[in-house]
Amino acid sequence: MLIREVEQRISYSVPNPSKPRTPQQARLDALKTQKDNVSRALDTERKRQKVAKAQQNLTKAMSA
């Protein structure tokens, strides 16, 4: 990789400076992040329970 390619990637990854968020905006951002995290955790738990139920059914089928 050439030096200028690295410099270009670095310049693209640096965000433009922006105004600081108001407390209301920061709160909304935090709530959105929290909602996304809870949604992800819920999906993960549902998948875990689905796998556990499938394993239980497989065990029943093997012993019958």
Write the Ramachandran bin of 17: left for phi over 0, alpha for psi from -120 to 50, otherwise beta: beta
Report which secondary-structure segment, H or E, holds 13: helix 3-13
| Mean local confidence (pLDDT), 37-46 | 98
Residue 28 has pLDDT above 70, yes or no: yes
Report which secondary-structure segment, H or E, holds 44: helix 23-63
Residue 41 has pLDDT above 60, yes or no: yes
Residue 14 has pLDDT above 60, yes or no: no
Query: pLDDT digit string (tens) for 52-61?
Result: 999 999 999 9
